[in-house]
Chain A
Amino acid sequence: MIAEIGAFCMALALALSLAQGVLGLRAQAAHAGAAVAVAQVAALLCGVAMACLIIVFVISDFSVSAVVSYSHIDKPLIYKIAGSWGNHEGSMLLWCAVSALFGALFASLRRGQALGLWSKAVGVQGFVTAGALIYTLALSNPFARLDPAPLQGLGLNPLLQDPALAAHPPMLYLGYVGLSIPFSLAIAALLEGRADQAWAKALRPWTLAAWTCLTIGIGLGAYWAYYELGWGGWWFWDPVENASFMPWLIACALVHSAIVTERRGSLAAWTILLSILGFGLALLGTFLVRSGVLTSVHAFAIDPGRGIAVLVLLAVAMGVGFGLYALRAHKLAKPSGFAAVSRESMLVWNNFGLSVAAGIVLIGTLYPLMVEAAGGGLISVGPPFFNLTVTPVLGALFLLLPLAPLLTWRVGNARAALKQLLPAAILALLTLGLALWFSHGRIAPAFGLAIGVWLVAGGLIYLWARVRRGEGRLIAKLALLPLAVWSMSIAHIGAGVLTIGAIGETAFRSERAVALAPGEGAEFAGRRITLLEVGEIEGPNYSATRANFRVDQAGRAAALSAERRFYPTSNTPTTEVGILGDLDGDLYIALGEALRDRPGVWTVRLYHNPVVQLIFIGTIMLAIGGALSLLALARRRKDGPA
């Protein structure tokens, strides 16, 4: 019964989304109120459908096919709930619900936007939601029944029973779908033939929100990979990761170009192009993940029919987007006056670098498909390619980054800005020298660390320069600093922190395999690690072999344990690593198997991941920067005229 209510709500929401699309595109003042109401009811219905899906998962209704495939009576409640969106069908319903919700929010928060642009964007968003709903209802209905109903479900893959991964898909989807509003606004601007500063003002919060959610989503995925997969990797340049990284790069470019369009009125055509591209890459990401055309360490139930359907949706969206762009973009081009050295030019370089990086990732991700189509056999493009190509582009971009905030709009003074940055340059060069010395001449990581220090120091110098301008005592000065300055500085310093963490961890990690019997120990990374005992334990829905360790370092002792779990429901083992954080990084222990010839002796893998915490701290700083920036926009909107 509940499942039928959910399916019925989806069908109703589809009809309303189509109505929202037609009402919106007609853009008549008399219909504006109706369009808002329709969008709100559609969002409510999608919300009810999502709630129905969560309920059938919680009560374990095994007559619903998705529940059978991804749930189990014994699963903890939180993972029953997370299981509702942890599978393909449910995640598509989530996609629709988020799209409808954002559409309703956008429609409700008009705030003095011109009728034509606003209404047409509401209309396009209606069609985006409708497209997603058609796909979900026709090809991946989460409420499909199974007859006869089995007594028990198959259970969610135990690797996915994890708090970080419960939140990972919804955050990514918020980001992906968040990019649909900039897309709708871009199409509306092309239909109307204008994109002014008010338009960019409406665009900015959505781009920021989408980018922030993508940052959190990707960060959660990386963190999960780090502690769950058992060998300390956090980024693999896997096609599925690239699928989320490309929209992130474009959203990052869009966040910056929208600032130029809002503040200076220039780059409007480019901002529109990025908006279309960003959503296109989000759809492409969904296609790559769902179609299984690319081999990936991530696996999902693969269905070529679904892949083709997503490809059709992508083709329609991008066909409309790029077609309109080709016809109308020249009308939006405006002569823009800025010098080769100015805030604008720096933001153009930012966009250039991020777009080139996204292009390279796209080529690297699709290259295996092209080679295979051309009959060149099966290949894979892995980390060596991306490290060789993407890293230098981002490195060059980061070299310019600290300059941008110190330059003024229109015409900047490069000499003054460089002079201000002198301490940062000295620190970076010192880092370079020290890193070369300590790593025995490894050039690439030394440059990477120096660039990270350059970013952090440059961000702090900018912050200090802004603080000095204020009045009164230091505390008062800090408190008076605009939120926008804080948000930008935190995000830029975060990028530096992330760079230091990523380079340091990748280049200087160490690893050692040892065979230990209880009572034996090994020296590793300045610590003594002793295996105390190995025993069997029973968890709520698994059994496990647990090893307890003692770690002695500089007179301090700490306890640590690592497990190998076995989930009988899905007949799957998992590795639960032990992680001990310290100032110099993480000690990371994974338990292997018992030895062949000597029972009671266990293989244990020890990793030392230096400064790995900085990766996650940097990512959190990026997300905080995005969130504060959103807050700043909201506050400004409340204070100032609409």
Chain B
Amino acid sequence: MRRRDQRLILIAAAGAILVLAISLTFFGLRDSVTYFVAPSDLAEKAAPGRMLRLGGLVVEGTVTPRGDDGVIAFDVTDGATVVRVHYDGLLPDLFREGQGVVAEGRWSPGEPFKADRVLARHDETYMPREVAEAIKNRGEWKGESP
């Protein structure tokens, strides 16, 4: 095989792999991104089985400790709507009443939001940007820190 042919084969193979990688990337971006919703948008954005990130503030006094089923429950709000969240995992260390939280999970109408993962920040003075955004949209924004 001549050297130029070899070079062509290499380039063709690289091109094919690149095309494959790019299509895989965009396929992945279409199907495996998670949308962020505020409690008020939940009804509009949720679809059965669709993974969502629910962001808001944990309402004070609503955290119900675990019962025998191991589920902990709390309310999340953006100032307009309140959504009940059920979670059977360990809460992050920085989870606290009155503070911002992001719950990742699924929701169907008439049921509590079932979280697979609950995120809070490593820094207690920081509110998740998505939460700030959601609260701002509701006109409930009160300055930089929660």
Contacts and interface: CB of A to CB of B under 8 A. Distances in A.
A295 B130 contact: yes
Contact of B24 (A345, A352, A368, A388): A388
B65 A378 contact: no
Interface in B43-72: 53, 64-68, 70, 72
A536 interface: no
Given A345-B10, A592-B66, A230 B24 contact: no
B14 interface: yes
A414 interface: no
A597 B68 contact: yes
A570 B6 CA distance: 64
Contacts, number: 131
A603 B70 contact: yes
Nearest to B32: A384
B90 A571 contact: no
A595 B29 contact: no
B119 interface: yes
B3 A593 contact: no
Contacts of A603: 66, 70
A389 B10 contact: no
Contacts of A592: 66, 90
Given A295-B128, A377-B36, A388-B24, A597 B10 contact: no
A229 B88 CA distance: 17
Nearest to B6: A340
B100 to A, nearest CB: 11
Most chain B C-beta atoms within 10 Å of own C-beta, residue among A570, A592, A594? A592
B93 A339 contact: no
A444 B137 CA distance: 42
Contacts of A513: 70, 88-89
A605 B90 contact: yes
Nearest to A591: B90
Contacts of B89: 231, 513, 605
Contacts of A388: 24, 27-28, 32
Contacts of B121: 297, 299
A549 B122 CA distance: 28
A594 B3 contact: no
B80 interface: no
A610 to B, nearest CB: 20
A513 B68 CA distance: 11
Most interface-central of A298, A340, A377, A384 (chain B CB within 10 A) = A340
A82 to B, nearest CB: 16
Interface string A391-411: 011001000000000000000
Nearest to A378: B36
Chain A residues touching B, majority SS: mixed
Interface residues of A, number: 58
Contacts of B94: 572
Given A378-B36, A595-B67, A574 B93 contact: yes
Interface in B31-47: 32-36
Contacts of A340: 1, 6-7, 9-10
A367 B88 contact: no
A385 B68 contact: no
Contact of B32 (A385, A573, A596): A385
A367 B28 CA distance: 11
B93 A379 contact: no
B74 to A, nearest CB: 13
A382 interface: yes
A590 B89 CA distance: 11
A157 interface: yes
A263 to B, nearest CB: 19
Interface stretch (A39-47, A265-273, A356-364, A499-507): A356-364
Contact of A159 (B3, B32, B93, B130): B93
Interface string A335-370: 001011000010010001000100110011001100
A392 B28 CA distance: 12
Interface string B105-146: 000000000000001011111101110010000000000000
A515 interface: yes
A393 B14 CA distance: 12
B24 A595 contact: no
A188 to B, nearest CB: 29
6 contacts: A299-B122, A339-B6, A340-B10, A590-B90, A596-B66, A598-B68
Interface of A: 157, 159-160, 229-231, 292, 295, 297-302, 337, 339-340, 345, 348, 352, 356, 359-360, 363-364, 367-368, 377-382, 384-385, 388-389, 392-393, 396, 513, 515, 570-575, 590, 592-598, 603, 605
Interface of B: 1, 3, 6-7, 9-10, 14, 17-18, 21, 24-25, 27-29, 32-36, 53, 64-68, 70, 72, 88-90, 92-94, 102, 119, 121-126, 128-130, 133
3 closest A-B pairs by beta carbon, nearest first, are A299-B123, A384-B32, A596-B65
Given A592-B66, A593-B65, 7 more contacts: A297-B121, A385-B33, A389-B25, A392-B24, A513-B89, A572-B94, A596-B64
